[in-house]
Structure 1
């Protein structure tokens, strides 16, 4: 059911040392103390968020001698070994082969469950399948947490739970009562994340699990797939190829981007210091339009603004926004945005070049 680690060498990180230093410096000592000696079950451990969590936890494990045991769920262990051998083959990591929707065979003791599987719906995805996969995965991880006596459970949810952000609302608060439109099948992801949050709260009420929810907004950094449906990744890909960045639509929608090292600080702090039963927005509150994003990527990568916009903006049209209000995390948990957008873009580019060079040698 699992693949034993084959390497006993010290951890050699796959991300920049200054990112690891930031994570160590900006994460309160109480977090590392609370994680000491813990057995942590991680879903989504082979994806963008999961790889960053593993990088940080393994670095802290080595730095503070935490003696962590990290159980990482993956459908394809061999593929993860090929992708990130320094993570997959670390002695503190144990790969659990399986699917998040079928975890009934796992019965070992666990202290913490990090449900970080965050696959989103692509164009053409079956909405019902997307909904079922997300909800069933949450049910299975909660059942595992109850069965294996986990004390803490963290769900990585999404800002999609709020539905469309009103045009006049510049930043959306955790207590906003809006929701995805039930008459639109393409809201399956947001609908499923809302149900998942409800299931988490039910488990906390019935079984006494210490639960927290992180509502994740847009992210940027190494390990982000540049060929997926993420505008920032696509823009970086095209600019690195020396191509003009093409903005579909009119480029007036507002987004914000939190760098992945900052994200790890936020996730681990929410897990340990966050109030049980609470949800926290996780993201940057520094808004910019997609047009401004294209201009920024172009300047950082190409040294000039080289982009085009497919459509003219409609005068007086309501702004489309996806921007969190992060006051709750800032005030209650002392969390802040540490990495500016140009730096996040440059770090992502540098890492991508490094990976490309390594793959050729």
Structure 2
């Protein structure tokens, strides 16, 4: 994807940020979920930082599919600073298979509605068993820091008392439902991080991602925004399966990764940080209309099937407060309109 000028520009903008990159120099980072939306962009950023800033930072890209990794990261396979490690994080990690490890970033998780409904066990296990295994590995390797990518969904449903969720907010989740597997397991993953911090003196930070999108999205992603984007790329009508009054925060992948790196390198041990900015807050129906307008199509309505309904979030408003992260110096590079335009343009040139 780095042969796309827009995408390369996004990656280099993150590399050019004023971050303490020296912390990564002559170190290494293990990235679980390396072929996903966030993980693949993060791999590209670190590898570009190696090339531009001569960081000499080893990237261990974890994933279950060697074929998928070769397709996505083929250009890196000849580099001494890149290793793909085929591993299911639901199994323990062997510390002896790795050299020195500086940082561990846990991005591996089901993150879309159909997966929540059809693979609820896998959804929960990656966020609990996978997190435990990666934390054990990080502690055994004496890692400098562990980052657990959490989610806006840990806040639950808005109780009507807040316009924006700050990091201390705790809404309502009905835990006795299939759909609760994702937010509840993310909450448990955060608790595991705090337990390892206390018992094993492992430094942890928790970037809380909101609904993220971008050209690195998987074609199998069933989130509403991902489906809207895919329809837009193909010039098809945008399909709405609700009234679209849901009011959410969204983040373009370049901003999500720049926020994650800010938390990893500048955040305080034990703290959680929302990666969000209100310039990308939008109602679902307006999001659909925006993408339709950009792609010359229309918005139509369909009734969701039972599997889709089972995986949908019932939250009607989830706007995140990014003040805490901005205090570390982070600012988004793109608002919702420009992020969507870049996503559509990059995907049109790379997918079609």
TM-score normalised to structure 2 length: 0.89
2-structure distance, mates of 1:139, 1:319: 28
CA distance in 1, matches of 2:167, 2:70: 38
- Is 1:43 paired with 2:32? yes
Shift of 1:77: 1.3
CA deviations 1:178-237 (Å, max 9, x no partner) are 352222231101110111101101111111111100111111211112442121221122
- Indicate which of 325, 328, 344 corresponds to 2:324: 328
What residue ranges of structure 1 are gaps of 5+ in the alignment? 1-10, 312-317
**In structure 1, what is the Cα distance between the partners aligned to 2:197 and 2:239?**
46
Cα separation, partners in 2 of 1:222 and 1:88, compared to 1, 3 Å:
farther
> Does the CA contact (< 8 Å) of 2:275 and 2:322 recur in 1?
yes
Please give the secondary structure, in 2, of the residue aligned with 1:84: helix
| TM-score, scaled to structure 1 | 0.87
Provide Cα deviations, 1:300-340, integer angstroms capped at 9, x if missing partner: 222xx6213458xxxxxx9811221111111x212122202
- Aligned 8 A contact 1:252 1:319 in 2: no
The alpha-carbon deviation at position 37 of structure 1 amounts to 1.0
- C-alpha deviation, 1:13, in angstroms: 5.7
The answer for unaligned runs of 5 or more in structure 2 is 304-313
3-state SS of 2:318 partner? coil
Match in the other structure for 1:342: 337
Deviating above 4 A after TM superposition, structure 1's stretches of 4 or more consecutive aligned residues are: 11-15
1:253 to 246, 255, 259: 246
Question: Which residue of the partner structure matches residue 16 of structure 1?
Answer: 7
Other-structure match for 1:197: 190
Q: 1:253 to 1:12 in 2, by over 3 A?
A: closer
1:28 and 2:23 correspond: no
1:81 aligned to 49, 63, 70, which one? Answer: 70
Q: Deviations over 1:229-286 (max 9, x none)?
A: 1212211221232222121111111122211111111111100100110000112323
Separation in structure 2 between the aligned mates of residue 162 and residue 171 of structure 1, nearest angstrom: 11
Indicate how the Cα distance of structure 1 residues 291 and 35 shifts in structure 2: closer, same or farther if over 3 A, else same.
same
Q: Which range moves more in the overlay, 166-175 or 141-150?
A: 166-175
Q: Could you tell me how far apart the structure 1 residues matched to 2:44 and 2:348 are? A: 19
What CA RMSD, in Å, does the superposition of the two structures yield over aligned residues? Answer: 2.2
Which of 282, 291, 298 is 1:288 aligned to? 282
* Aligned pairs for 1:144-293 within 5 A: 144-286=137-279, 287-293=281-287
| Structure 1 residues 298 and 213: alpha-carbon distance in aligned structure 2, compared to 1, 3 A threshold | same
- Residues of 2 paired with 1:53 and 1:177: CA distance? 29
